[in-house]
Amino acid sequence: MTTTKTPGTCAAAQMSEQGVYPSDEQQHHFAKRLLAWFERHGRHGLPWQYHHQSSADIYAVWLSEIMLQQTQVVTVLKFFEPFLARFGTVQALAAAEWQDVAPFWAGLGYYARARNLHAGARQVADFIGTHGRFPETVDEWQAIKGVGRSTAGAIVAMGVKKFGVICDGNVKRVLTRHRGILGDITKSATDKRLWEIATALTPKERSGHYAQAMMDLGATICTRTQPKCDLCPVAGDCIAYALDAQSQMPVKKKAPPKPHRHSIALSITHRGRTLWLHRQNGGGIWDGLWSLPMFMLPLDDDKQLNNNTLSDAIVKAWQSDDKAHDLAHSQLIEILPMPTQGSKVHLRHTLTHFHWHLYARLIDINDGQFQQIDQALTAVGIDYLWTDTPHDLALPVAMQKLLTLSDDPA
């Protein structure tokens, strides 16, 4: 399907803070065109698309919606079915301990999502125990930890198979362009307007198919850069398309630059095996996963560090008794030589709130140091192991990347 722009296509097109509210006719035809496109060109082979079946699996739809937050479909596909195979029902997930859940999220990132999902599963299991059913309304789902308004709408539409409205990042991009909305999407007034339009455009019937169609349109056609407007089913009355203004929308206030933090990761090796620590920090970063011992460096510089600057920072960190240091700091500094030399591996890993620079340092220890470390870590109850197959562990993304860089002979 190709859209041809004609002089009368959108003659009255006007961009403004609030954009143009769709007429009744536009509302009807928008959904009709989008659903027709979805039937022919949408993504239909995804494992969580139970809204195509006679009975929806609400739990699977919920799980997919959480996994897909800030994560591409191709990545989620690697994790979805193994997670569902291990925790096949919401009751199974609710009954599991976090330490059992964490390995099945390792590498997917944004681990707060998984902790919220786990806590939410316990809420839903309790709800089912009381009411004999899953939550079925947007309000009921929004009461579940980690479920916001758009996620709740998606679950209701695609899982419960009732009327539900979504307005996530992909949908906001489509709507701001289609309706010529120049308001900052981070502002409450613009957000309210977008929800009003999203609700008006969502059909009362087949809102689950419509929700998936909107997601697909934003992900594959109305993309952030280089949108494929000639293939768009709703380009005929799209204001941004008529005015060649696609790149101007959505408007979003530029975020302040993220700070930079620096850490060293110690690869402590004895007879070919490396020390890994099992992080158990009460819901903190990487809780339930494995990592190399790490120490924060007293630096706040976004520039590439030279060897002298880095070595000086390591000396300060190694000698510091700062309580903010990572797990096992006080045990290891009494035993190990100061790691100012070693691997040149440098990884920059971007998290939600900061850029994290990890510098690998290799320390090969003798039999006496090995025994000392075992005794010291055991004495304070730190869970650890020595292994020559770290890729088999449940590792966070940063550790996986660090291993890949360390294994690269280049």
Closest CA to 98 of 278, 298, 368, 334: 278
- Cα maximum dimension of the chain: 83
Contact assessment for residue 241 and residue 255, using Cβ atoms and an 8 Å cutoff: no
Q: How far is CA 338 from CA 154, 285, 334, in A?
A: 53, 26, 10
CA atoms within 13 A on the CB side of 380: 14
Question: What is d(CA 293, CA 299) in angstroms, rounded to the nearest whole number?
Answer: 18
Residue among 65, 136, 196, 334 flagged as catalytic: 65
Q: Which of 17, 23, 335, 74 is nearest to 201 (CA)?
A: 23
Q: What is the DSSP string of 247-280?
A: GG-SB-PPPPPPPEEEEEEEEEEETTEEEEEE--
User: What separation in angstroms does the CA of 132 have from each of 54, 123, 129?
Assistant: 20, 13, 6
Q: Is 65 a catalytic residue?
A: yes
Task: Return the number of other C-beta atoms located less than 10 Å from residue 338's C-beta.
Answer: 14
Nearest to 225 by CA among 241, 240, 245, 246: 246
- Both tokens assigned to 335: 């035993």
Q: What are phi and psi of 363, to 5 degrees?
A: -130, 115
For residue 289, with 0-12 CB atoms within 10 Å meaning exposed, 13-18 middle and 19 or more buried, which class applies? buried
Contact criterion met (CB below 8 Å) for 327 and 378: no
Angstrom CA distances, 138 to 7, 31, 164, 192, 389, stand at 42, 21, 7, 17, 45
The verdict on whether omega for the bond into residue 250 sits within 30 degrees of 0, i.e. cis, is yes
Spell out the residues 6+ positions from residue 10 whose beta carbon is closer than 8 angstroms to its own.
236, 237, 238, 239, 241, 242, 243
Strands (E), 272-375: 273-278, 290-291, 294-296, 346-350, 355-364
The set of catalytic residues is 65
